[in-house]
Amino acid sequence: MKITEISVFAPNLVEVRTDAGLIGYGEGMLCEETLRQRPGLVIGRSPFEAEAIFEELSANGASPGGLDLALWDLMGKSLGKPVCQILGKPYRDQVLACPSVCGIAQASEHRAIRLEAPGQLRRSHTRVGLKFTARDAEEALAIGERCEDACLEFWESPIPGDDPEGYARLKSELRIPLAAGPLVPLDTLVKDYIQTELVDMVVQDVAVCGLTGLRKLSYLCWLFHVRLTPCCAGTPTGTAAALHAAAVIPPVSNAINTPPVFFISGGMPEVEPAVPSCPGLGVEAQSPCGEPLFTLGGEK
Amino acid sequence: MKITRVRIHKLAGKLKDRFGWSLNWADTRTATLVEVNTDEGITGWGDGSFGGERLLSHPELVIGRSPFEVEAIFDDLRAPAATQFDRGEPTSAGLDVALWDIVGRALGKPVSALLGRQISTRVHPYCTCMYRKDWPDPAAGLAEEAREWVAKGHRILKMKVGYGPEMDVEVVRAVREAIGPDIGLAVDANCAYDDGTAVALGREFERLNLLWWEEPIWADDLNGYDRLRRMLRIPLASGETMSADWILRNYVQPRRVQIIQPDLDTVGLTGGRRLSYLCALNGIRLMPHNWGTHIRTAGELHWISSFPDVDSWPAMFEFDQTESPIREAVIRQKIEMDPRDGTIEVPTGPGLGVDVIPEAVEQFRTELITVG
């Protein structure tokens, strides 16, 4: 099976066609400029070369996430298997959803939520994370001291950008689990945050790092005792990818009430959706709307 | 496609002459080959651990599954974790390689195309040789042997040490004089020393322009390695018996050694891929150990082909040249170094790109275990 055509439809649906008639769908950025210059990086190759394609696109400074999801969709469809079974060892067939919300009153049914601003932070029987970026480490420390009693599940991106020294300071002074967010590049994240155990959690967007990236992170996070949480925009494709990724993340511990692996969603999914069991990502057939914004390959 | 059967072939072949290293003498070479059959007639081969008790007591973890579930199977076959420990060590590296062989054959692709970005199509070997023989004069014997390997085109030689500091200096000096200054030379003590002795001996070794010192002390003497790293200017190498998990936590993340040498029979290609990424990120040279048949050699060629140069040091692995009746006999293809540039080509055929000769396997087989 060879990849014959790649298209992007608004807002960011990636469609990959093959000579076997299978079509794979992903969601996220596509490195159009890189592909225009070097179409052979993808066109004519097998979707099973996803790891090589991911590394080659990354080495060329391109973001491979959207395309990578489509390749995994194709691999699963080709084998008749849900992606989680070929991505790694599946540990669960349902994953706790953690919607990202502005206020604690929203998502009242969910057992995990990510708040997008510090405010009322407590709700019983709910794991509450915070995504809020302070101006700098000083401000983060001030906010953090007020939040310590809230028993936060995590505080994502407490300070701007890639700042290991800032994170180290927060870690030494705050008693809140810290999480590095998706804006830190993958290699930097692994080298400076994960293997040094600088953070307690890593949040990664499936549309940016793809499933190949999440698989690398899944092993390394386990190795260095860092929790990994996939996140997505909440679209069907993104949610499916996040569920497959979360399915293969090793559990935090063997305890009976071990803290759950969850995924963060921009939408409002079910409380604990099932990991899709149909081949590929398991998303129902997509019918992209309108003309493609970008196309590469196809019949001449 | 489903896996239908796993056969573990234990092989042994007698040597013409015994050879020795700091720990022992050997008069026989052994191998464990793992053969995996599928319902579509595709068979894969690996050389190394097969899953042990875990597979024998839970065959359903492999039989009936798709070989494309290679990552899941690798982690499913980990040994049970010790109490209060997280996960057990992997036990199925050889079986893992066999699954990658099948996946490659099913897709019509060499393993190197599937593991990751292929950076090299040719890889540099170093020649493992110069074990001890029953020479009346070890220094003279080793020097003569060294000259023979150089005459065959080898550019880097690794010799055995660990027989006491005085003896080691004598023999290494003799070999260095025999081969001249331009041939690379490394030494391997197989964990013979304590770090105090090693640091003193290392000072002498520094004068002999060595490329690395392999296993000077016990692999898990981490404080000892820290001391040697601080005190010696010779790159340190270790890791041949350890899992990817252990190596990454104890050698790579703390940059405790400059070169790590995992063996495919312990880490498999799944573990090998996990190692490659973090080694490259940390600037640690990955130079696999290889003490198996050419089935293992083929697997290591595919693996190392995706590893970038580190500090201008090209992708390199161990090319065992000591006597072995089994090593080359079990595959049809020849894996040889080109003496013109000292490199070996990564196989280009589907899967591992080598074909096993069943009759040869049977010839050397001492035990057969069948699962499924």
Q: Bridge partners of A274?
A: A94
Which contacts of B319-323 are long-range, i.e. CB under 8 A and separated by 24 or more positions? B319/B125, B319/B126, B319/B127, B319/B128, B319/B290, B319/B344, B320/B128, B320/B290, B320/B291, B320/B292, B321/B127, B321/B128, B321/B129, B321/B149, B321/B154, B322/B19, B322/B128, B322/B129, B322/B131, B323/B15, B323/B16, B323/B17, B323/B19, B323/B29
| B248 with A223: Cβ contact below 8 A | yes
pLDDT in tens, A42-84: 999 999 999 999 999 999 888 899 999 999 999 999 999 999 9
Give the full edge-to-edge strand order of the sheet including B24-38. Answer: B43-47, B24-38, B3-21, B365-371
Q: Locate the chain B residue with the closest alpha carbon to A194.
A: B253
- Report the residue from A79, A215, A219 with minimal CB separation from B66: A79
Cα dihedral B240, B241, B243, B246 sign: negative
In contact, A190 and A215? CB cutoff 8 Å: no
Mean pLDDT of all residues belonging to chain A: 92
Partner A contacted by B72 (CB < 8 A): yes
The answer, for B85 touching chain A at a CB cutoff of 8 Å, is no
- pLDDT at position B50 over 90: yes
Instruction: Identify the band that residue A198 occupies on the pLDDT scale cut at 50, 70 and 90.
Output: very high
3-class secondary structure, A55: helix
Q: What are the pLDDT digits (tens) for A230-249?
A: 999 999 999 999 999 999 99
**Cβ-based neighbours of B149, under 8 Å, separated by 6 or more:** B127, B129, B130, B157, B321
CA B203 vs CA B3, B22, B182: distances in Å: 54, 20, 21
CA–CA separation, A260 and B122 (whole Å): 46
Q: What is the pLDDT of residues B201-221, one digit of tens each?
A: 999 999 999 999 999 999 999
Contact of A81 with chain B, judged by CB distance below 8 Å, is answered with: yes
Residue listed under structure tokens 């993104």: A238
Inspect the interface and report whether the beta carbons of B245 and A223 lie closer than 8 Å. Answer: yes
- Name the CA radius of gyration of chain A, rounded: 19
The chain A residue lying nearest B252, using CA atoms, is: A195
- A282 min Cα distance to partner chain B (Å): 17
Residue B45: pLDDT over 60: yes
ipTM of the modeled complex: 0.94
Which sign does the torsion angle of CA A136, A141, A147, A152 carry? Answer: positive
Q: What is the maximum alpha-carbon separation in chain B?
A: 59
H/E stretch holding B350 reads none
The confidence score (pLDDT) of residue A285 equals 66
| Per-residue model confidence as pLDDT tens digits over A130-163 | 999 999 999 999 999 999 988 899 999 999 988 9
Query: Cα separations (Å) of B89 from A115, B248, B259?
Result: 39, 13, 22
Distance of residue A157 Cα from the nearest chain B Cα, in angstroms = 23
> At residue A191, does pLDDT exceed 90?
yes
**Mean of pLDDT values over B289-297:** 97
Rg (CA), chain B: 20
The confidence score (pLDDT) of residue A254 equals 80
Nearest CA in chain A to B69: A86
- Pick from B76, B113, B277: which is nearest to A49 by CB? B113
Q: Kindly report the backbone phi and psi dihedral angles of residue A69, in degrees, each rounded to the nearest multiple of 5, phi listed first.
A: -60, -40
- A59, B117: Cβ pair inside 8 Å? yes
Chain A residues in contact with B278 (beta carbon < 8 A): 190, 195, 220
CA-nearest of B337, B214, B77, B253 to A196 is B253
DSSP B114-170: HHS----SEEEEEEE---B-S-SSHHHHHHHHHHHHHHTT-SEEEEE--S-HHHHHH
d(CA A245, CA A224): 18
B247 touches chain A (CB under 8 A): no
With CB atoms and an 8 Å threshold, state whether B68 touches A81: yes
Confidence at A250, pLDDT banded by 50, 70, 90: very high
Q: Which residues of B belong to the active site?
A: 289
Q: Would the pLDDT of B191 be above 80? A: yes
Cross-chain Cβ contact A52/B274 below 8 Å: no
Give the model's confidence band at A299: pLDDT under 50 very low, under 70 low, under 90 confident, else very high.
low
> Would the pLDDT of B132 be above 80?
yes
Task: Yes or no: say if A244 and A237 are a contact pair by the CB < 8 Å rule.
Answer: no
Tokens 């312990």 belong to B266
Instruction: Give the up-direction half-sphere exposure of residue A144: CA atoms within 13 A in the CB hemisphere.
Output: 27
The mean-pLDDT minimum among A27-36, B228-237, B333-342 falls in: A27-36
Residue A206 to chain B, least CA–CA distance (Å): 19
Q: Are strands B236-238 and A294-297 parallel, antiparallel or unpaired?
A: unpaired
Residue A43 structure tokens: 């066109």
Angle between helices B138-151 and B165-179 (to 10 degrees): 30
**Which two three-digit tokens encode residue B8?**
């573990």
